[in-house]
Amino acid sequence: MAGYGKPLYDHLQYCVRCCMPETTEGIVFDEMGICQACQSAEQKIHIDWVAREKELRKTLEHYKNTSGDNYDCIVPISGGKDSTFQLYVITQVYGMKPLAVTFSHNWYSDEGKHNLWNALEQFNVDHIMFTPNRRLVNKLARHSLVKIGDSCWHCHAGVGAFPLQVAVKFKIPLLIWGESVAESSGRASYFNPVTRFDRDYFTKVSARCYASDMATDDITLKDLNCFQLPSVEELEQVGVVGIHLGDYLFWDDERQMEFVRDYYDWREGKVEGTYKGYKSVECKMAGVHDYTCFLKRGYGRGTYHASVDVRAGLLTREEGFELAKQHDTERPKAFDEYLKLTGFSEEEAVDIVRSHRSGSCRLLP
């Protein structure tokens, strides 16, 4: 094990300000070795958030005034702290009438079930939920590991496709997401943003492949209907657009979580692979997703959360590395359930994940 305050792998490049390694997908370092997520954290201080909020208000008023008797917008909601906060902002601050839409990953924790239904009741919103059958989820969880080196394709693809399907069927053009991709993913910054949300957004940033690519002898295209993206023509006919509240409002995970927890009975819980009890608490298999990331890229959710806290000044970088080493390397208990559902042996699963290493990830042991 590396010495105190040092990263787990001394042969990899890490951001000089936080704890994220070069193996992070999409990471970009500037000439001083600072990652885009850290650049974003600094940029937030210099943004005129009052002006950005005015842009948001103008956008929301436009859709509210043109929706007629229809819903003003769609808010995709998982029951997590972000989507609960989204519902609060849209209904209580801006007075809009949203349709809440949930794609169920079929792996809900007890806290997740409470938080989802509690949010719907707290903010009195109409709701549509789609739950794929368990046998299909198990098949996809197995095939997902082979295809993308991650256990959760069905969740990544479903949360992207199903709200778009609802937008087309109900003719609701505006979708409202939460955290900006610039916030901490490293794929963009506030001064170098993702400029356009489109039908392929979630495929590019998380799902990695389309529903048609997941068909096998045992998984038909008819089985995959709920994961199919509407056509470009269908989306253009409705005028579907998506925005992230985090591009218009100063985003603070910790404070927002504390707010919905203290005022709206949102509940934390144990999340494997990290020291925080709120990120992905709604999913009992979140630890498996993060463990596959560690096996493939050499870091997990412990590193991610530690880096967020280092940027916020809550931890030193050295303290962040210690927390990362402690939590990233933990084998989650949920891995046993994943192996049972998919029929993999542990050795098979680990070998499959490691086979997806590329670029600097190949330097990992």
State the pLDDT at residue 175.
97
Lookup: tokens for 40: 């974003």
Please report the beta strands in the chain, taking only residues with DSSP state E, as ranges in sequence order. Answer: 73-76, 98-103, 126-130, 174-177, 241-244
Grade residue 229 by pLDDT with cuts at 50, 70 and 90: very high
- Asked if residue 94 lies in contact with residue 57, where contact means CB atoms within 8 angstroms, the answer is yes
Q: What is the mean pLDDT of the chain?
A: 94
Res 208 pLDDT > 90: no
DSSP state of 204: I
State the pLDDT at residue 195.
59
Q: Is 62 exposed, middle or buried (0-12, 13-18, 19+ CB in 10 A)?
A: exposed
Sign of CA dihedral 94, 98, 103, 105: positive
Grade residue 163 by pLDDT with cuts at 50, 70 and 90: very high
- Asked if residue 178 lies in contact with residue 85, where contact means CB atoms within 8 angstroms, the answer is yes
Domains of the chain, by residue range, sit at 49-247
- The 10s digit of each residue's pLDDT in 93-147 is 999 999 999 999 999 999 999 999 999 999 999 999 999 999 999 999 999 999 9
Grade residue 279 by pLDDT with cuts at 50, 70 and 90: confident
Q: What percent of the chain is predicted at pLDDT more than 90?
A: 88
pTM of this prediction exceeds 0.85: yes
State the pLDDT at residue 187.
74
Look at phi and psi of residue 179 and say left if phi exceeds 0, alpha if psi is from -120 to 50, else beta.
beta
* Backbone φ and ψ of 102, nearest 5°: -125, 130
Helix (H, G, I), strand (E, B) or coil at 73: strand
State the pLDDT at residue 197.
67
DSSP state of 178: -
Res 196 pLDDT > 70: no
- The 10s digit of each residue's pLDDT in 304-359 is 999 999 999 999 999 999 999 999 999 999 999 999 999 999 999 999 999 999 99
Per this entry, what is the length of the chain?
A: 365
Grade residue 199 by pLDDT with cuts at 50, 70 and 90: confident
Res 244 pLDDT > 80: yes
State the pLDDT at residue 188.
77
State the pLDDT at residue 205.
78
Nearest to 278 by CA among 112, 150, 86, 156: 112
Q: Is 124 exposed, middle or buried (0-12, 13-18, 19+ CB in 10 A)?
A: exposed
Grade residue 26 by pLDDT with cuts at 50, 70 and 90: confident
- Asked if residue 16 lies in contact with residue 32, where contact means CB atoms within 8 angstroms, the answer is yes
Q: Tell me which fold the domain 49-247 belongs to.
A: Rossmann fold (3.40.50)
Lookup: tokens for 173: 């053009």
Res 1 pLDDT > 60: no
- Asked if residue 211 lies in contact with residue 221, where contact means CB atoms within 8 angstroms, the answer is yes
